[in-house]
Amino acid sequence: MPYPARVDGELAPQLSRWLWLVKWLLAIPHFVCLVFLWIAYLVLTIVAFFALLFTGRYPRGIFDFNVGVLRWTWRVAFYSYSALATDRYPPFTLAEVPDYPAQLSVDYPGSHRRGLPLIGWWLLGIPQYVIAGILGGSTVGWQWSGGLISVLVLVAAVVLLFKGEYPPGIFDLVMGFNRWVIRAGVYGSLLTPVYPPFRLDQGGKEPMISEGAVAPTV
């Protein structure tokens, strides 16, 4: 069974040597949109918390919106400074864009344990959140910054500038780190009750997971 949150990315065969220097400027319209989307995300996650607490189900409309925000965020992150792995400008949409090189999806859970929001969310998730913090550093809505991801992406950017190529080994590791951070975020946002696996799944394609992703018993 695959993990309910799947994160994929395809490294572009040709990347501009210098475009990454101005991507912060080109992505400003996305950053502005994502500020408001993340405010809504946080408010709706609180609403979903109480819905889970009393009904054991995550409201489907809120779920689809929040996954859409994560999907939009991942496309912008993949284009900009969480990966720099494509020069194709991200679309302005919450919906899936099948031909875009960065993909994110989360399976809708049939049900949650009613006690999970109070116990599993903050207590069992602490080890995942600590590791995600080391990998991603601080999170400002749409962008991981200051962690190991930023260091690796900076190395890749310098190599790209001088050699005109993105080291595949660095890309695989960057994808693994981003995947860990996003899985922890999905679990922390109560979008799935399935506990993230403690393993680094590298590479552009999401691997199949047959062990380690076990729903907490609380």
Residue range 39-67, pLDDT digits in tens: 999 999 999 999 988 888 899 999 999 99
pLDDT at 121: 75
Higher-pLDDT residue of 139, 217? 139
pLDDT band at 2 (very low <50, low <70, confident <90, very high): confident
Q: How far apart are CA 113 and CA 130, in angstroms?
A: 24
% residues pLDDT > 70 (the chain): 88
pLDDT band at 112 (very low <50, low <70, confident <90, very high): confident
Q: How far apart are CA 156 and CA 134, in angstroms?
A: 19
Q: Beta strand 102-106 with 5-9: parallel, antiparallel or unpaired?
A: antiparallel
pLDDT at 212: 44
Exposure string of 23-40, with b = 16+ CB inside 10 Å and e = fewer, is beeebeebeeebeebbee
Q: How does pLDDT run across 167-187, given as a tens digit for each residue?
A: 999 999 999 999 999 999 999
DSSP E strand boundaries for the chain: 5-9, 102-106, 137-140, 143-146
> Who's near 106: CB < 8 A, 6+ residues apart?
4, 5, 6, 63, 67, 70, 186, 191, 192
Half-sphere exposure of 10 (CA within 13 A, CB side): 9
pLDDT at 56: 86
pLDDT at 215: 45
> Who's near 128: CB < 8 A, 6+ residues apart?
183, 184, 187, 188, 195, 196
Among 116, 86, 70, 63, residue whose Cα is nearest residue 13: 86
pTM: 0.89
